Structure 1
Amino acid sequence: MDCLKWSWFRLKEFLKEQFGLHASGIFKAGGYDAFRIGGTTGFIIPVPQLDEQELFELYYMSQYLQEKREPYVAAFWPSLQGTLSAEKDGKRYAVLKCPDTIQPRSLTEGRELAQFHQRARSYSYQADKMKRIGQWKDLWERRIDQLEAFWRGKVQAHPLDHFEKLFIESFPYYLGMAENGIQYLVDTELDDEPAASDSATICHNRFHSELWTNELPVKLPTDWVFDHASRDVAEYLRHEFLHFPDRLKKRGGSFLADYDRTVPLSSFGWRLIYSRLLFPIHYFECIEDYYLSSEQQKPVYEKKLYSILERSEEYEQFLASYSNMLSMRTRRIQLPLLHWIGR
């Protein structure tokens, strides 16, 4: 039996033993292992970073959005033990399900995201472990402190490795940018007043244009956190810059306008978007992922870091052009921009 068939056999055994599900075959959908039973499609999702309490919080969010008739929301398939995850080969997985027959999307990404946030804004149940709203400053400072300590160790070690040389040379610049992002966030919270649209809602860990597609029109709760809507808007723009810069130039403004027409963002919200874009999460994650990856994966992150550094000036120009991407209605809002950006 070849490796692929053996893998499928093991997955079917896992579904049968842990969830009582009898899948006739396994296929790939959106990068995940999937299966069909009756009129339902199931997805086997790795959840190494989520514990059972976090999964139960996400379970209640998905139940709530289904009650609110939010389209494409997947539901959890509990295990035979009543848990929301189960182990296979030392790794934990959740199984999510949705109906086979799903209508293609008709709304633009900006409108659909705004409606998603609006429906989820009335969610009032416990989300202690998935809550991120109001925590950005602490989370960002902790991340900076950890990476700065790691960087100092590398500087003292005088490495010869090419990636580590790039890391050592580039870190002070991105540390400065990160500190600017934190200061901008602090100033926003001091100078501006949140509106009703600034209350917490269900967001995504990293929202992007490839997450909601007609190829896989499913909203997976395992992608979610409880945060300010600006998180998703900022991460969408960041992802477009990194992966589809030409599309960002053509459609970035219309994405923001579609969102703003559907659910207007306050000046507080627009400033939070900018503070999040200022904080170079993409750089931090690339460094962290490199050191957590296997030797086979390391060249991927080295190439990614090189691309980030090569486009650093371009990213500054993107930040400088942020206010020009806003709609005519929104341009009446005064957004403080940093003078050094884009010079």
Structure 2
Amino acid sequence: MSVKKKIKETYGLIATEIFSFGPYKAFRTPGTMCLIVPVSQIEEDELYELYHMSQYLYEKADPYVAQFMVARNGSIFMEHDNQKYVVFKCANNNEGRSLSKGRELARFHQKGRSFPYEVIKTNRIGQWKQLWEKRLDQLENFWRGKVQAHPLDHFEKLFIESFPYYVGLAENSIQYLVDTELDDEPQPIDSATICHHRFTGNVWRQDQLIKLPIDWVFDHASRDIAEYMRDQFFNQQTQFRDSVFLFAEEYDRTTPLSAFSWRLMFSRLLLPVHYFECIENYYLSPETENPYYERKLKDLLSRSSEYEEFLAEFHQMLSMRTKKIYLPNIEWLSYTS
């Protein structure tokens, strides 16, 4: 059965033309665009949590939130060719060109903080330490295996040589997180909200702004701010300093952040997620993608000193913003006077 027939059978919708929208397939109905999003990797319980989040934000009058289409049989997904899909209904003409991303993200988080239902599957709040330690242990064991195997592969040589440096960064980030949780008292602004797995510059498209629920987790707002800054560092090299600090300021003007938030943000930026994901994706992706991840790893390694400078600048920026925020120094960061 074709996907068009499956959509008509499941939802009663007529998809006259299927086209590409970013990484997804899409079709139009009067007044709406619908995205067909594969979700086989997401557990059903998690999908239902995301469904309730999207319904809640839609009821809070967020015009950019994509809604789950509910099938005729009451299900929130359809099965086609042994795969699970969700059809999302998106409002037409949602241009985000004039939006300030910092301000819009702050408003998004404000609404998400009042989400009234229990969250289990997508919950990450208060779990960073355990998740980071588990990931670091798994990678360290994997690295030891590679060291013992004496690989000839160029990527693996780069991985073996660079890993001890990034272990140090990760251990610093975990210690910084622990110190933050001991030293600082969370404020109401630090309560959990609807966040993104990775909030990058591409998550909210400017040509048609869509807030897609499968991107979401339930976590501390600093997660999104830190991940946006990290993404800008690696992908907007020319103007990144201006853009990331403006982004943080616009967020802070809309929703003033606590000292606890700023310190969590810094601990997350210290964690070399960019390096971990590059290594993991190399081994999890098809071999045809190996050259891409090898180039990416070389780029990350070549910019490690520059990333340290960014961390030092960020640290200094916070210290200058307000004397109320005490940020312990990290000895190996190259602070400038």
TM bracket (short chain):
over 0.9
Deviations 1:37-76 (A, max 9, x none): 1212100112233111101100111111111112300100
Instruction: Provide closer, same or farther for how the CA distance between residues 14 and 325 of structure 1 changes in structure 2, counting only shifts above 3 A.
Output: farther
- One-letter identity of the residue aligned with 1:322: F
Aligned counterpart, 1:6: none
**Secondary structure of the corresponding residue to residue 20 of structure 2:** strand
Which stretch has the larger CA shift, 47-56 or 275-284? 47-56
Give, in whole Å, the separation in 2 of the partners of 1:157 and 1:83: 49
Deviations 1:246-300 (A, max 9, x none): 2221222111111111101100000000000111111111111111111111111
CA RMSD of aligned residues (A): 1.8
> Are 2:89 and 1:90 aligned?
no
Aligned counterpart, 2:183: 191
Unaligned runs of 5+ in 2: none
Instruction: Provide closer, same or farther for how the CA distance between residues 130 and 307 of structure 1 changes in structure 2, counting only shifts above 3 A.
Output: same
- Aligned 8 A contact 1:54 1:129 in 2: yes
**Secondary structure of the corresponding residue to residue 26 of structure 2:** strand
Aligned counterpart, 1:200: 192
Q: How many angstroms does 1:85 deviate by? A: 2.5
Which stretch has the larger CA shift, 206-215 or 257-266? 206-215
Give, in whole Å, the separation in 1 of the partners of 2:246 and 2:319: 8
> Are 2:116 and 1:116 aligned?
no
Q: How many angstroms does 1:119 deviate by? A: 1.2
- Aligned 8 A contact 1:320 1:337 in 2: no
Instruction: Provide closer, same or farther for how the CA distance between residues 166 and 78 of structure 1 changes in structure 2, counting only shifts above 3 A.
Output: same
Aligned counterpart, 1:79: 71
Give, in whole Å, the separation in 1 of the partners of 2:98 and 2:150: 55
Give, in whole Å, the separation in 2 of the partners of 1:114 and 1:326: 18
Deviations 1:70-97 (A, max 9, x none): 2300100123443322333333221111
Which stretch has the larger CA shift, 54-63 or 316-325? 316-325
> Are 2:140 and 1:140 aligned?
no
TM-score (norm 1): 0.93
- Aligned 8 A contact 2:155 2:294 in 1: yes
Q: How many angstroms does 1:326 deviate by? A: 4.3
Deviations 1:105-155 (A, max 9, x none): 543111111111111111120211100000001111110111111111111
Candidates 41, 47, 70, aligned match of 1:49: 41
Aligned counterpart, 1:261: 253
> Are 2:166 and 1:162 aligned?
no
Aligned counterpart, 2:56: 64
- One-letter identity of the residue aligned with 1:243: N
Which stretch has the larger CA shift, 47-56 or 179-188? 47-56
- One-letter identity of the residue aligned with 1:135: Q
Aligned counterpart, 1:235: 227
Instruction: Provide closer, same or farther for how the CA distance between residues 187 and 78 of structure 1 changes in structure 2, counting only shifts above 3 A.
Output: same
Which stretch has the larger CA shift, 14-23 or 201-210? 14-23
Candidates 296, 299, 307, aligned match of 2:291: 299
- One-letter identity of the residue aligned with 1:58: L
Give, in whole Å, the separation in 2 of the partners of 1:76 and 1:161: 45
**Secondary structure of the corresponding residue to residue 239 of structure 2:** helix
Instruction: Provide closer, same or farther for how the CA distance between residues 318 and 18 of structure 1 changes in structure 2, counting only shifts above 3 A.
Output: same
**Secondary structure of the corresponding residue to residue 88 of structure 2:** strand
Q: How many angstroms does 1:332 deviate by? A: 4.4
> Are 2:269 and 1:249 aligned?
no
Give, in whole Å, the separation in 2 of the partners of 1:327 and 1:41: 46
Give, in whole Å, the separation in 2 of the partners of 1:52 and 1:207: 23
- One-letter identity of the residue aligned with 2:30: G
- Aligned 8 A contact 1:256 1:327 in 2: no
**Secondary structure of the corresponding residue to residue 168 of structure 1:** helix
**Secondary structure of the corresponding residue to residue 44 of structure 1:** strand
> Are 2:313 and 1:321 aligned?
yes
Instruction: Provide closer, same or farther for how the CA distance between residues 197 and 89 of structure 1 changes in structure 2, counting only shifts above 3 A.
Output: same
Give, in whole Å, the separation in 2 of the partners of 1:104 and 1:244: 19
- One-letter identity of the residue aligned with 2:5: E
